[in-house]
Amino acid sequence: PANSPDLNPIENVWRLLKGRIQRRFPTTEEEVRRYEKLEPEDFEKYTGNMRERCLAVINADGGPTKY
């Protein structure tokens, strides 16, 4: 499906950022910016398996998957 959350890794990236900020309770904007910084490896975790994600959605006939 075109709008499948299983094929939208940005949701996982937002969850990562939210978790970083909530765990550290930053008190200044500078601290927030530091915790918001993403490295290429952060994206690779969520985009490197797109083939598997697509196959899972196909196998589930567009239904929910583990992603």
Q: What is the 3-state secondary structure (H, E, C) of the chain?
A: CCCCHHHCCHHHHHHHHHHHHHHHCCCCHHHHHHHHCCCHHHHHHHHCCHHHHHHHHHHCCCCCCCC
pLDDT in tens, 9-37: 888 888 888 888 787 777 888 887 877 78
Reply yes or no on whether the pLDDT at 42 is more than 70: yes
Percent of the chain with pLDDT over 70: 91
Confidence of residue 3 (pLDDT cuts 50, 70, 90): low
